[in-house]
Amino acid sequence: MRKAYTRNLTPAQAWKRFIKTDEEIFISNFYTEKHPVTDIKKMCKIHASELPLAFEYDGILFAQDQIELIERLMVQHLENYIESKGGIDKLELFTEEELDAMMDATYESIMNILAERAGISRDRLGQILRNESENRTKE
């Protein structure tokens, strides 16, 4: 495990390192939730609080002051981005259906790459994953 590196980060660097998605997709995801979040600061607070879990697999640890710093940098970045576009109403936000279609396309692309690397058909990979999922459910 290693501590997240946050020294001297600019808002844009923090966004690129810890968000890894387009600003309009990020905002759209919050707007389309069951209980929509429309406040930029709240979006950033929620996302920043989830960083330890999101980076757990990579073995990266976050101190509370780092999470708070990243949250502030995210807010700054989004506010700068929104201002550069001429306001929130000028953003090209996505509907829930469009976000779902993007996720489906990404899923299919990943599955195709996995099947190709494993040297099996896409259908066979799907069968293997379904069987594995059923076995885990039984345990």
Give the tens place of pLDDT for each residue, 57-77: 888 999 999 999 999 999 999
Gap between the Cα atoms of 25 and 94, Å rounded:
7
Report pLDDT for 29.
96
75-120 residue pLDDT tens: 999 999 999 999 999 999 999 999 999 999 999 999 999 999 999 9
Per-residue confidence (pLDDT) for residue 133, from 0 to 100 = 80
Asked if residue 10 and residue 48 are part of one domain, the reply reads yes
Q: What local confidence, expressed as pLDDT, does residue 10 receive?
A: 96
* Same domain, yes or no: 49 and 100: no
67 and 11 fall within a common domain: yes
Across residues 24-51, what is the average pLDDT?
Answer: 96
Residue 107 tokens read as 């899923």
What pLDDT shows up at residue 139? 66
pLDDT recorded at residue 13 = 96
Give the per-residue SS3 of the chain: CEECCCCCCCHHHHHHHHCCCCHHHHHHHHHCCCCCCCCHHHHHHHHHHCHHHHCCCCCEECCHHHHHHHHHHHHHHHHHHHHHCCCHHHCCCCCHHHHHHHHHHHHHHHHHHHHHHHCCCHHHHHHHHHHHHHHHHHC
Cα(77)–Cα(127) distance, integer angstroms:
43
Question: 70 and 7 in one domain?
Answer: yes
How far CA 124 is from CA of 92, 110, 112, 119, in Å, comes to 38, 14, 11, 10
pTM (two decimals)? 0.81
Name residues whose C-beta falls within 8 Å of residue 59's C-beta, 6 or more positions apart in sequence: 1, 2
28 and 67 together in one domain = yes
Residue 81 sits in the same domain as residue 41: yes
Residue 129 belongs to domain spanning: 96-138
As for how many domains the chain has, the answer is 2
**36 plus 72 within the same structural domain:** yes
